Structure 1
């Protein structure tokens, strides 16, 4: 199913019937090559896209030409669901790798909203999940040092890919350049290189040829001050992502 990764291994999930409703609402799939802008800032849209395969980004372009990544999307993300309400975006959505997306018209989403309150709440949850991640990206830039920022981003990506079966908790593909990671973490390419070397030499993790290998997840999680609560993973996935043995949210 094209919707198999939506809310997979999360606190809130979709029923089989809800997935079938979303599958029926998909008009078609579309492939885009790496580097293609899929949705342009300020251009009116009447569709929203679900990422099926590959990685996508949201980014803001400054008037002087500088770009800043504000989100990285993985399969199962409803990349621009908020466009249903906004009708045009304040940022670009682009293909980081070759991607495949499923397309849903806003008219079909309107019909879901009219007929299925529970599924509508699930879709609303997806936009709130995006907002939670945005808040943590702000926290990362404002409160963490350079090493912690990169470590936090790697822990977050590991957790998100773990939820959809694209990480085993210790190794995953990350098709980004050091410059991309720098945009995410507010660092120069040179600084990112230095941080990655420090993480590698410290025996925590290694980033090489678009592959991340985590040597010591508990130490990397502690270094990053990473708590996956904002990702709303189910208990089992959250425990694995945070390298904990006991109940993660027990008081």
Structure 2
């Protein structure tokens, strides 16, 4: 498992190379993208619904989420975001954001000017196609989450999201032997799954008792990957990851 703090570790490059092999020129272009790096605390908004940003945010390390708020102040998390993700990439073409992005844990975030992203897409069409592909996968994840919240219940709903996170984290070398860091609170899982925090607690207790998961602090271990996939009705096809077979 590569360290996210190793100087040669670039989660965006790692993510793209899980799909295709970059040429030396493409890799150099990505490595030299102008980027303002900020270290953000947990539970801090990166961008807000209604913003008209001139730059996109790349998660370099840590966990974040995409969410929307009701008029009465209730939050619905619509996806979790990990290292290598650009959760507001759609802002390249959609000028007003229709969702917010917030940190879950402390994060390192790289802010890349839209102008630089437009330029690299024009100069390197394969990178442009890869970014377009990422927005399509984001849409696929949203569809799967609608299915998960709308039709699955209890342990199955939680198991599905945990399977997704493990596969996505593995694609950027943040999983080893089905063990990973997962600093997502029960309140955040509740906002993502349509449960109450009390229900989340009961579900997690049941999953531990059934031998589906083991937890120690923020560390998650999956003792029986095939069993967890079965319980969560998890098919990784919607993630469209070339390396998904490593975890599947």
Q: Quick one: distance in 2 between partners of 1:14 and 1:78? A: 18
Q: Quick one: distance in 1 between partners of 2:152 and 2:47? A: 31
Q: Quick one: distance in 2 between partners of 1:196 and 1:75? A: 25
Q: 1:88 to 1:171 in 2, by over 3 A?
A: same
Of 197, 212, 221, the match for 2:229 = 221
Of 102, 105, 111, the match for 1:103 = 111
SS of 2:169 mapped into structure 1: helix
Residue deviations 1:181-206, cap 9 Å, x none?
Answer: 11111111111111111111111112
> Which residue does the alignment assign to 2:244?
238
Count, aligned residues: 239
Displacement, 1:67?
Answer: 0.9
Q: Is the Cα–Cα contact under 8 Å of residues 47 and 102 in structure 2 kept in the other structure?
A: yes
Is 1:200 aligned to residue 227 of structure 2? no
Alignment of 1:64-143 (within 5 A): 64-143=72-151
Displacement, 1:169?
Answer: 4.0
Residue deviations 1:138-165, cap 9 Å, x none?
Answer: 1111221111110001111111111111
> Which residue does the alignment assign to 1:6?
15
Consecutive unaligned residues of structure 2, counting only runs of 5 or more, are: 1-7
SS of 1:41 mapped into structure 2: coil
What is the TM-score when the length of structure 2 is the normalising length? 0.90
Q: Is the Cα–Cα contact under 8 Å of residues 162 and 169 in structure 1 kept in the other structure?
A: no
SS of 2:68 mapped into structure 1: strand
Q: Quick one: distance in 2 between partners of 1:228 and 1:15? A: 27
Q: Quick one: distance in 2 between partners of 1:227 and 1:14? A: 27
Q: Is the Cα–Cα contact under 8 Å of residues 14 and 122 in structure 1 kept in the other structure?
A: no
Q: Is the Cα–Cα contact under 8 Å of residues 8 and 163 in structure 1 kept in the other structure?
A: no
Q: Quick one: distance in 1 between partners of 2:232 and 2:167? A: 13
Residue deviations 1:19-67, cap 9 Å, x none?
Answer: 3212322232222111111101102110001111111111111110111
> Which residue does the alignment assign to 2:3?
none
Q: Quick one: distance in 1 between partners of 2:33 and 2:173? A: 25
Q: Quick one: distance in 2 between partners of 1:155 and 1:181? A: 14
Q: Quick one: distance in 1 between partners of 2:163 and 2:225? A: 8
Q: Is the Cα–Cα contact under 8 Å of residues 146 and 185 in structure 1 kept in the other structure?
A: no
Q: Is the Cα–Cα contact under 8 Å of residues 155 and 241 in structure 1 kept in the other structure?
A: no
Displacement, 1:128?
Answer: 0.9
Of 165, 171, 181, the match for 2:173 = 165
Is 1:179 aligned to residue 187 of structure 2? yes
Consecutive unaligned residues of structure 1, counting only runs of 5 or more, are: 243-251
Displacement, 1:8?
Answer: 4.1
Q: Is the Cα–Cα contact under 8 Å of residues 15 and 171 in structure 2 kept in the other structure?
A: no
Q: 1:8 to 1:219 in 2, by over 3 A?
A: same
Q: 1:240 to 1:168 in 2, by over 3 A?
A: same
User: What is the root-mean-square deviation in Å for CA atoms of aligned residues?
Assistant: 1.6
Q: Quick one: distance in 1 between partners of 2:56 and 2:40? A: 15
